[in-house]
Structure 1
């Protein structure tokens, strides 16, 4: 946006300082005139010696008053310019940091020294913003790189299979088609997972009142055949827990957690417990599962995109695309909730989701704005 050039803030402050100083000097001289000189007679004063009258005092006073005002003007301009420069120096550092950030350098920090004042608070807020922005950009770059790699893998496999089919017409086409179907299904699942993750980050969904216990029953009924196939006992307990949000996204949360609990479980004979209940003003969903030992240092990384748990479970055919817990965390945050992961002492994972509970009455169509 093109704007006409104007006076700098330093020059404006300098002129303001000088103007106020001149005004104070003029008021002081006016006080001298009002309360002193006007009571001196203007005519001849009869006395044994020389006694100056008002005219004499004015002739002596005015030149020196003008000299004093001129001195105040020069002193105000010079001193104001110096003081304004000292006062605005932090703004120059903040502006330089903003300019560097605009050019792509997000690692620079102001780190303004001195006591806490308005400029120090502004600099600290700006440093915090730069830190969060740098972290967000780094996370997005890493996510983009991982997503590109994950999407490129099934495409490269599909291209290889097609080249094999073209170069070897006598090869079993049914096997190639089946493998292509598997690879394309994985690519579609990954794309849908990325879309769900983006939707959760944008909070672009309609909110309804819902019951976590009912959604949990729906998700566990869908995944029960997979649990039975792996000989895993799936148990659902708890009470009704009402919250406000997107039924489709909350269903995705429960489905991802239960599916992860099935996939990253013992080879056979494992157990999964899904529990819902209202608790301290929140609706709580807890999923506990047996499984291999999870090192504590691995817990913080499980919600990062494209993390697939321990090496023991990464080769599982149902291991997914590594976005399950990342999607869960994104959706939970979009619903103003919290996600907590903890390793169970005997192996496996305990995942707790806390969503804001609601006691409000929904609108006639059951939608909250």
Structure 2
């Protein structure tokens, strides 16, 4: 933004300090002069040595003014010089932390996010500003690193189906006698996976930008809808789904929260025991929050693996490309949607195998008069 050049803050503070000091000096000299005028007579009779009045009077106030005026002017001149010099030094000392913050801001603008101000001294307004700026830089650096890592992973994941499609097309062109139906089926599967990945990326971006409408919802109804949709998949894999919970009112996006429950239940079904697995879906109400808990049976998971599952393109088991294997964004989407709803996501391994995932969201305020959406 182009701005007209102006005086620096240091010059403005210097002029302010000097002006205030001059104003205080003028007031002080005016008070002294008023005091002198009150107690010093205007004129006085002159007496000779033999105590007889001499003819004429002596003008005391005019003589006092002749003496007082030049000295007052000298004092004001000294105060002006002292105010300018002292104000300049004092303003520089006061603005030194701001100069460091400005320097760090320019470095951040140029892409250097690892720099920190670390302003020394006791806590005051400048220290609070510097500490807040350091915290912002740390979060921004972590966010940029995460975005770069995500972009690299997304590029790799998107390049894979495109490379496979190119290979299949080259094979079909080189071997005209090859079964076209087989190639078409494989191209369809690869294209479907690419579409799923693209839609997941778009959903992730939408949730991260919080570009959605909040409305009263019932997590228990959303959980029922998600489990009914995924029931055929559970039956196919021999997994039993158990759902519990009462009415669980919250505020959020019906579509996005349905995506959260669907992703969690689908992951719980896919990453389960080979046979006779179980998935538990439970909703509960707390004083200020509502909770959705999805847990399943399965293999023992290490705590260090649990902490990485919400990262994009991370999977708890080997990379599968079968039905409903996902694109590696399921829990990343869940985490982004939950954070966009001002909630928390907690993943803990079960002692008997499997994982427990808990989503906590702010409860619907008591004064909300709208009923949760039923679909």
Inter-CA distance 219–62: structure 2 relative to 1 (3 Å threshold): same
Select the residue among 185, 200, 204 that pairs with 2:207.
200
Q: 1:287, 1:300 → 2: CA distance?
A: 17
Select the residue among 356, 359, 362 that pairs with 2:370.
362
User: Quick check: 1:117 aligned with 2:124?
Assistant: yes
User: Quick check: 1:286 aligned with 2:269?
Assistant: no
1:180 is paired with a residue whose SS is helix
Inter-CA distance 153–175: structure 2 relative to 1 (3 Å threshold): same
**Contact map agreement 2:207 2:340 (CA 8 A) in 1:** yes
Inter-CA distance 134–48: structure 2 relative to 1 (3 Å threshold): farther
**Contact map agreement 1:13 1:80 (CA 8 A) in 2:** yes
Q: 2:340, 2:290 → 1: CA distance?
A: 15
Q: CA deviation at 1:175?
A: 1.3
Q: CA deviation at 1:114?
A: 0.8
1:196 is paired with a residue whose SS is helix
- Please give the per-residue CA displacement for 1:175-229, whole angstroms capped at 9, x wherever unaligned: 1111111111110110111111111112222233222222222211221222222
1:301 is paired with a residue whose SS is coil
In structure 2, the partner of 1:334 is 340
In structure 2, the partner of 1:43 is 43
In structure 2, the partner of 1:314 is 319
Q: CA deviation at 1:43?
A: 3.0
Q: 1:294, 1:62 → 2: CA distance?
A: 91
Report which stretch shifted further, 315-324 or 171-180: 315-324
Inter-CA distance 250–83: structure 2 relative to 1 (3 Å threshold): same
The TM-score with structure 1 as length reference comes to 0.93
Report which stretch shifted further, 172-181 or 238-247: 238-247
* RMSD, aligned α-carbons: 2.1
1:46 is paired with a residue whose SS is strand
Select the residue among 344, 355, 372 that pairs with 1:349.
355
Q: 1:34, 1:4 → 2: CA distance?
A: 46
In structure 2, the partner of 1:169 is 176
In structure 1, the partner of 2:330 is 324
- Please give the per-residue CA displacement for 1:232-271, whole angstroms capped at 9, x wherever unaligned: 2221222221222222211111111011011111111211
**Contact map agreement 1:151 1:190 (CA 8 A) in 2:** yes
Q: How many residues align?
A: 364
- Please give the per-residue CA displacement for 1:281-305, whole angstroms capped at 9, x wherever unaligned: 3322111101111111122211111
> What residue ranges of structure 1 are gaps of 5+ in the alignment?
none
Inter-CA distance 81–281: structure 2 relative to 1 (3 Å threshold): closer
In structure 1, the partner of 2:304 is 297
**Contact map agreement 1:241 1:283 (CA 8 A) in 2:** yes
Q: 1:180, 1:160 → 2: CA distance?
A: 10
1:7 is paired with a residue whose SS is coil
In structure 1, the partner of 2:83 is 76
Report which stretch shifted further, 72-81 or 128-137: 128-137
The TM-score with structure 2 as length reference comes to 0.92
- Please give the per-residue CA displacement for 1:122-162, whole angstroms capped at 9, x wherever unaligned: 11111111111111111111111111111111001100110
Select the residue among 156, 160, 166 that pairs with 1:159.
166
Report which stretch shifted further, 263-272 or 207-216: 207-216
User: Quick check: 1:61 aligned with 2:68?
Assistant: yes
Query: Which structure 1 residue ranges, 4+ long, deviate > 4 Å from structure 2?
Result: none
User: Quick check: 1:223 aligned with 2:260?
Assistant: no
Q: 2:68, 2:249 → 1: CA distance?
A: 85
